[in-house]
Amino acid sequence: MSTKTDPKSVFETYARLVSAGDLEGVMDLFDESVEVPDALKQLFGGDTGKEMLRNYIGQTVVQQNGTIEVVRTGVSDDGWAYGDLVLRSDMVRQFGQERIMGIDQLHVRDGKVVNFKFMPNILDPQTMAFYANLGVFGGKSEAVTGG
């Protein structure tokens, strides 16, 4: 594999382009038939996984002046790249938090992302409060600040 199409490089490019607000560049990384979680299908709509990701990333990060910081990455032997991320955005601040944390998981084949998953770190107090304030966990939470 070349260094530009291996899973770790694709992940690093994804993170850099998302933080730069380059939605078209991000979309170029995804295969036309990219698979996405059911939650994205329900929340962000679109006829294809790629359209759903455009809506998801566009609405929750790019249009919210968001940046992601990659804390740590890892790659599996079967082409999955994992990244522990910190997201800072207007939307996160609107819901009373400085930042939220999670893991983006990209399955890369032939230099294209063929499967996308996101897992919020609900053990992190700010992330848990953010999702609670969104109503994901059944009610509003007190804003948690710090660490």
What is residue 82's predicted lDDT score, i.e. its pLDDT?
96
For the entire predicted model, the pTM comes to: 0.87
What is residue 133's predicted lDDT score, i.e. its pLDDT?
87
Start-to-end CA distance of the chain, whole Å, equals 38
Burial-class residue 106 by CB neighbours within 10 Å (0-12, 13-18, 19+): buried
Q: What is the pLDDT of residues 45-92, one digit of tens each?
A: 899 999 999 999 999 999 999 999 999 999 999 999 999 999 999 999
Q: Where are the domains of the chain?
A: 7-84+104-120
- The set of residues, in sequence order, having a beta carbon less than 8 Å from that of 11 and lying 6+ positions away, is 70, 73, 75, 81, 82, 83, 104, 106, 108
**Range 7-84+104-120: architecture per CATH:** Roll (3.10)
Mean pLDDT of 113-139: 88
Q: What is the pLDDT of residues 88-124, one digit of tens each?
A: 999 999 999 999 999 999 999 999 999 999 999 999 9
SS3 percent helix, strand, coil of the chain, rounded to 5, is 40, 30, 30
Is the pLDDT higher at 145 or at 109? 109
